[in-house]
């Protein structure tokens, strides 16, 4: 029972991280119909920026751990968001009228660019987050020990997701984003500045991705310049699983994928866990071709 | 205009075919790799370029071909080149089985599923599925191919073997492009509703395109196994599929000349800048963005189809 519970909490924590990254994919897709292959690399840059800021500013010396992390998170969120906006401006905006696949190639190019610039700056080796950043507190839930950090990660990601969901559903700007996702032309006619909306999406998505990067750094303690691809692929899978373009879908998909992976690794086989996640994805898509929560777009055929 | 094009093609072929005489082994080998990628990219071009299916898992079929050749050659000592048809056949069969249930998925959903397949195949190979794939180390000791008793082993000999198959591929693909089948694929890519309305069985045609592409990737797998004599799962990872995807889109979807040029740029050009080893991929990424901004349809998009008015009775005669 305890083993099961450990897998459950671990799966939920990892799933929360996947969900945060998946939100970036799904929001960009919703508005631009573009798979932003560079999104995983923005997430990776978030992890590296967190580490750099942590060591460069020496915050851990005179602040409590939670203040340090909160401060780091704010800085990483802002920096990665800026990077996201620049990426959109340079690599995607000129291609807005072009074929969809041209923008995909541009995204792949941006991804290669980011990966290699990080590799040139930090080197190809794994970088290690300080071990004593988070106190290794263990809390007991139903009498079973759970590392505090897992709960915090899950909590933080849920808070961010709820905040995003409320923002999208309840505010005027959120409505503008939804309008632009449904029909850009009509949104423009209603007086919505679509370019602004797209820029905003490239603020929110990368910011969430950067936060996820920081979480991975703190949770696993080591980061690598290739991890953007690995997590990006997982998160993209999660977004598709939930139905791409659908915000609650990305959350459900992310958490589900985290759980599937955790349980598959624990009860079936560690070596096959990635394959297992893809198998579940394929099976779900065969039954529901637009993902779990994806709207049934009036299929053209 | 048409003649000018042919002069360029002929000059290019001539330069290419005589190049082994002046290049050293290293550069001939680079050309061999380019040749393999040309063949692979052309096979992906049928699926992605002509039919417009977002397929980012082509390395899976390549892997099936390469492993078929490697296993049968090392275990039963069947000559490598004899295994080529079988490798293609098995890759095609594999494609048929996996593509049948997913062929109706829309663009991006198909993309992630094909990525899923290439990852599943790689993981299966690493985990030594059925105990015959050699795990993470792969399979080594694959025989060199022999033609009429002549053993192909130097880069120069491989050059002619590989580019011979490239030439055959180009010839057959040109035939395909100008056939009823090729036009149907283009029609599906441009407007699948209209295509269906004109009586084209969309999923049937898509499936055939998928299988043809896979069969060709299987052939490439044989050549790859024969050239390397060692194969390992990491040669068929997701990145490999992405590379092929980029080649087709950078070169020009549905354009044979474009895809060939794209391969030379994507595979060949980074080799030229080997001395800047670390920064070259950085530049490569930036160049891709810039190229897409200035040539969003690829470097050499296919010329629009033209039909001669005086011979409408034979629509096969497309220019």
Assess if residue A181 is contained within a domain.
yes
**What confidence category does residue A172 fall into, taking pLDDT thresholds of 50, 70 and 90?**
very high
Write down the pLDDT at residue B284: 85
Write down the pLDDT at residue B217: 94
Interface with A, mutate which of B57, B190, B296 (most A CBs under 10 A): B296
The distance from CA A38 to its chain's CA centroid, rounded to whole angstroms, is 12
For residue B28 the two structure tokens come to 């001939």
List of residues 6+ apart from B39 with CB closer than 8 A: B162, B165, B166, B169, B216, B219, B220, B223
Assess if residue A292 is contained within a domain.
no
Assess if residue A83 is contained within a domain.
yes
Q: Within an 8 Å CB–CB cutoff, is residue A113 touching chain B?
A: yes
Tens digits of residue pLDDT in B150-181:
777 788 888 888 999 999 999 999 999 889 99
Tens digits of residue pLDDT in A54-72:
888 877 677 777 788 888 8
Is B112 in Cβ contact with A237 (below 8 Å)?
yes
Q: Within an 8 Å CB–CB cutoff, is residue B129 touching chain A?
A: no
Q: Within an 8 Å CB–CB cutoff, is residue B301 touching chain A?
A: no
Q: Within an 8 Å CB–CB cutoff, is residue A171 touching chain B?
A: no
Q: Within an 8 Å CB–CB cutoff, is residue A98 touching chain B?
A: yes
Tens digits of residue pLDDT in B97-122:
999 888 888 888 888 899 999 989 99
List of residues 6+ apart from A184 with CB closer than 8 A: A31, A194
Assess if residue A270 is contained within a domain.
no
Write down the pLDDT at residue B228: 87
Write down the pLDDT at residue A299: 45
Q: Say what the ipTM of the complex is.
A: 0.84
Write down the pLDDT at residue B317: 47
Cα angle vertex B33, ends A113, B282, to 5°?
Answer: 10
Chain A residues with CB under 8 Å of B104 CB are 289, 301
Chain A residues with CB under 8 Å of B102 CB are 282, 285-286
List of residues 6+ apart from A41 with CB closer than 8 A: A110, A111, A114, A115, A118, A228, A229, A232
pLDDT over 60 (residue B315): no
> In the predicted model, what is the mean pLDDT of residues B243-252?
90
Cα–Cα distance between B308 and B319 in angstroms, integer? 8
Tens digits of residue pLDDT in A27-43:
999 888 888 999 999 99
Assess if residue A246 is contained within a domain.
no
What is residue B20's three-state secondary structure? helix
pLDDT over 50 (residue B86): yes
**What confidence category does residue B2 fall into, taking pLDDT thresholds of 50, 70 and 90?**
low
Cα–Cα distance between B83 and B80 in angstroms, integer? 5
Cα–Cα distance between B234 and B63 in angstroms, integer? 10
Chain A residues with CB under 8 Å of B51 CB are none
Q: Within an 8 Å CB–CB cutoff, is residue A7 touching chain B?
A: no
Is B246 in Cβ contact with A105 (below 8 Å)?
yes
Cα–Cα distance between B126 and B134 in angstroms, integer? 8
pLDDT-above-70 percentage for chain B: 96
Chain B residues with CB under 8 Å of A246 CB are none
Cα–Cα distance between A246 and B290 in angstroms, integer? 31
Q: Within an 8 Å CB–CB cutoff, is residue B106 touching chain A?
A: yes
Cα–Cα distance between B177 and B5 in angstroms, integer? 17
For A143-157, B215-229, B262-276, which range has the lowest pLDDT when averaged over its residues?
B262-276
List of residues 6+ apart from A274 with CB closer than 8 A: A261, B119, B123
What is residue B9's three-state secondary structure? helix
Domain ranges of chain B: 13-237
Q: How many residues does chain B have?
A: 319
Write down the pLDDT at residue A301: 35
Write down the pLDDT at residue B1: 58
- φ, ψ (nearest 5 deg) of residue A145: -75, 135
- φ, ψ (nearest 5 deg) of residue B140: -125, 170
Token pair 């048409």 is found at B2
> In the predicted model, what is the mean pLDDT of residues B13-32?
84
User: Å from B58 to nearest chain A CA?
Assistant: 16
Tens digits of residue pLDDT in B222-246:
999 988 888 888 888 888 898 999 9
Tens digits of residue pLDDT in B174-197:
999 889 999 999 999 888 889 889
Rounded to the nearest integer, the mean pLDDT of chain B is 86
| Count of domains for chain A | 1
> In the predicted model, what is the mean pLDDT of residues A123-152?
82
Range of the domain at A79: 2-225
For A32-36, A232-236, B15-19, which range has the lowest pLDDT when averaged over its residues?
B15-19
Chain B residues with CB under 8 Å of A237 CB are 112, 116
Chain B residues with CB under 8 Å of A35 CB are 108, 111
The distance from CA B128 to its chain's CA centroid, rounded to whole angstroms, is 26
């Amino acid at each position: 029972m305890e083993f099961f519970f450990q897998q459950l909490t671990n799966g939920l924590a990892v799933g929360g991280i996947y969900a945060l990254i998946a939100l970036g994919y799904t929001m960009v897709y919703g508005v631009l119909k573009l798979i932003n292959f560079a999104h995983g690399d923005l997430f990776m840059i978030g992890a590296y920026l967190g580490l750099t800021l942590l060591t460069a500013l020496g915050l851990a010396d005179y602040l409590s751990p939670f203040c340090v992390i909160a401060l780091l998170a704010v800085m990483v969120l802002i920096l990665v968001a800026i990077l996201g906006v620049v990426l959109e401006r340079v690599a995607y905006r000129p291609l807005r009228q072009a074929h969809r696949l041209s923008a995909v190639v541009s995204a792949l190019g941006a991804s290669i660019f980011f990966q290699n610039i990080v590799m040139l700056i930090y080197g190809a080796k794994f970088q290690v987050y300080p071990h004593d950043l988070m106190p290794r507190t263990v809390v007991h839930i139903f009498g079973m020990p759970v590392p505090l950090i897992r709960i915090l990660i899950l909590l933080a990601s849920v808070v961010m997701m709820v905040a995003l969901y409320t923002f999208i559903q309840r505010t005027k700007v959120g409505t503008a984003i939804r309008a632009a996702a449904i029909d850009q032309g009509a949104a423009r006619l209603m007086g919505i500045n679509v370019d602004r909306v797209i820029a905003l999406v490239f603020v929110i998505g990368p910011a969430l991705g950067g936060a996820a990067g920081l979480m991975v750094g703190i949770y696993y303690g080591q980061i690598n310049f290739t991890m953007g691809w690995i997590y990006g692929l997982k998160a993209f899978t999660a977004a598709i699983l939930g139905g791409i373009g659908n915000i609650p879908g990305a959350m459900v998909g992310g958490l589900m994928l985290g759980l599937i992976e955790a349980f598959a690794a624990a009860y079936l086989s560690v070596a096959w866990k990635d394959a297992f996640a893809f198998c579940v994805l394929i099976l779900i898509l065969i039954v529901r071709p637009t993902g779990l929560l994806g709207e049934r777009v009036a299929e053209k055929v | 205009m048409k003649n000018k094009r042919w002069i360029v093609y002929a000059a290019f072929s001539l330069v290419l075919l005589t190049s082994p005489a002046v290049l050293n082994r290293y550069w001939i080998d680079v050309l061999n790799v380019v040749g393999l990628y040309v063949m692979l990219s052309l096979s992906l071009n049928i699926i992605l370029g002509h039919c417009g299916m977002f397929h980012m898992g082509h390395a899976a079929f390549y892997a099936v071909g390469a492993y078929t050749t490697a296993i049968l050659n090392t275990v039963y000592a069947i000559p490598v080149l004899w295994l080529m048809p079988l490798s293609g056949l098995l890759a095609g069969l594999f494609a048929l089985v996996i593509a049948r249930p997913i062929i109706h998925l829309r663009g991006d959903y198909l993309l992630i599923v094909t990525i899923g397949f290439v990852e599943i195949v790689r993981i299966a190979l690493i985990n030594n599925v059925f105990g015959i794939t050699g795990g993470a180390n792969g399979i080594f000791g694959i025989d060199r191919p022999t033609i009429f008793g002549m053993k192909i082993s130097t880069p120069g000999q491989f050059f002619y073997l590989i580019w011979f198959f490239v030439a055959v591929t180009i010839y057959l693909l040109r035939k395909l492009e100008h056939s009823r089948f090729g036009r149907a694929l283009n029609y599906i890519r441009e407007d699948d509703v209209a295509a269906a309305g004109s009586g084209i069985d969309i999923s049937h045609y898509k499936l055939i395109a998928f299988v043809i592409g896979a069969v060709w990737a299987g052939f490439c797998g044989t050549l790859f196994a024969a050239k390397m004599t060692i194969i390992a799962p990491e040669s068929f990872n997701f990145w490999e599929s992405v590379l092929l995807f980029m080649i087709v889109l950078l070169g020009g979807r549905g354009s044979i000349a474009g895809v060939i040029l794209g391969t030379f740029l994507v595979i060949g050009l980074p080799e030229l800048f080997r001395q800047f080893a670390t920064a070259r991929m950085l530049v490569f990424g930036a160049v891709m963005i810039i190229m897409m901004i200035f040539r969003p349809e690829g470097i050499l998009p296919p010329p629009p189809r033209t039909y001669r008015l005086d011979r409408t009775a034979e629509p096969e005669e497309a220019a």
